[in-house]
Amino acid sequence: MTVHLSPRIERIVEDTVRSGEYRSAEEVLSEALSVWQARHTAAEPTGDDRQAAIERLKNFGKTHHLSLGGITIKQLRDEARP
- The per-residue pLDDT for range 13-72, each reduced to its tens digit, is 999 999 999 999 999 999 999 998 888 777 667 778 788 888 888 888 787 777 777 777
Domain regions of the chain by residue span:
7-43, 47-80
The pLDDT value given to residue 23 = 93
CA-to-CA distance for 56 and 45, rounded, in angstroms?
15
Give yes or no for residue 10 having a pLDDT over 70. yes
The pLDDT value given to residue 43 = 64
The pLDDT value given to residue 38 = 85
The pLDDT value given to residue 7 = 94
CA distances from 49 to 6, 8, 41, 56, 64 (A): 37, 38, 13, 11, 22
